[in-house]
Amino acid sequence: MKGRRALTIALPAIAIIATFGIGLLVGREIARPAAAPSDAPPVYDLGPYENVAPELLAYRVLVEVPVVLSKPRGIASAADGTIYVCGDRSLLEIDRKGAVQHRWDLDGEPSCVAAGPDGTLYVGMPDHVEVVRPGIAGTAAWPDLGKQAIVTSVAVVGSEVFVADAGNRMVLRFDAGGRLAGMIGDDYSVPSPYFDVAGGPDGTLWVTDPGHHTVRHFTIEGKLLGSWGTSSLEIGGFGGCCNPIHLAVCHCSALITAEKGIPRVKVYEADGALSAVVAGPANFPSGETGMDLTTRQANGGEVLVLVPSRRVVRVYVKKEAIVGG
């Protein structure tokens, strides 16, 4: 494995220093233990919000893929159906039956993985990205992002790679060689280490803003195209301290979101209109979290959902889909 080189930032020094200064405070905020309450915390009845109207449940499970990791944390999918799962200081390539086709050992605990169009894999580590290239043994390390970094998501759009850093509340834009080219957006609210970025089929970028319960839409150069979201426990909104926790974009440009607290996976149109529910609370163990998402074009549009506590990847398709390869 190549040694990590110092981060070189081709941006104005003052702006970067200011941004990373904010990041230091944010990193401490995420890591700081909660103060002990003086009284017992209030008990909220979430029962009324756990039911999903039958007409909204538009998906069914096609296959449940077992994952041979004790703590799987992130997934990605290739066009041929190959699934990549990271966790337990490893990256696995598995087939649709869960058989391990390849395993890469990592020096730290990964949080996420993304697959590029050329087969290159980008693995989010605590403070940097590891790169796995087809036909090349081992991994290559990109620059260290600093002590406060908490890498939570990686997305590939064309030849560029975007990295969500929850510790510093940043989305960083890299070229394919690992050179930092800029940042996407600012003023994100990230109360806990859930912060996601995903690329759309039109070459644009979507970013969660979990503390504000919204999703933002950008060009890859960082121009804001719009945002939407509502703070609500109702089915159309995002409740709790920080939701959505994960995001994926379908080939039809619809957005898939995952939430913790009331675990559910939903489908939104690009303008924020709720169109369907993939899975509701009844489909997950109580308290399930960390449900990473990815999509695949096959079978009318597959939605892959990692269920960490069950150590499986569930592949969902629309109920009316004619299933092929």
Within-domain flag for 241: yes
pLDDT of residue 50: 83
Which residues are CB-contacts of 182 (< 8 A; sequence separation ≥ 6)?
11, 172, 173, 221, 222
Short-list 142, 188, 181, 131, CA closest to 165: 188
pLDDT of residue 216: 98
pLDDT of residue 19: 40
Categorise residue 272: left if φ over 0, alpha if ψ from -120 to 50, beta otherwise.
left
CATH of the domain at 154: 2.120.10.30
Name the domain count of the chain. 1
Within-domain flag for 136: yes
Determine contact, residues 91/121, Cβ cutoff 8 Å.
yes
Determine contact, residues 240/259, Cβ cutoff 8 Å.
yes
Within-domain flag for 167: yes
Within-domain flag for 280: yes
Categorise residue 74: left if φ over 0, alpha if ψ from -120 to 50, beta otherwise.
beta
| Residue showing tokens 């109207």 | 53
**Would the CA dihedral through 64, 77, 267, 183 be positive or negative?**
positive
Angle (nearest 5°) at CA 26 between 23 and 28? 115
Within-domain flag for 22: no
pLDDT of residue 22: 36
pLDDT along the chain (325 residues), means of 10: 44 38 39 44 65 95 98 95 97 96 96 96 97 89 96 96 98 96 97 97 97 98 98 95 97 96 97 97 94 96 98 97 80
Within-domain flag for 11: no
Within-domain flag for 41: no
pLDDT of residue 6: 43
Both tokens of 250, joined, read 């379908």
pLDDT of residue 15: 40
3-state secondary structure 70-102: CCEEEEEECCCCCEEEEECCEEEEECCCCCEEE
Within-domain flag for 323: no
pLDDT of residue 325: 63
pLDDT of residue 2: 44
Short-list 118, 107, 75, CA closest to 94: 75
* Containing structural domain, residue 207: 51-318
Cα–Cα distances in angstroms (integers) from residue 149 to residues 26, 152, 177, 212, 292, in the given order: 10, 9, 20, 21, 20
* Rg of the chain over all Cα atoms, to the nearest angstrom: 19
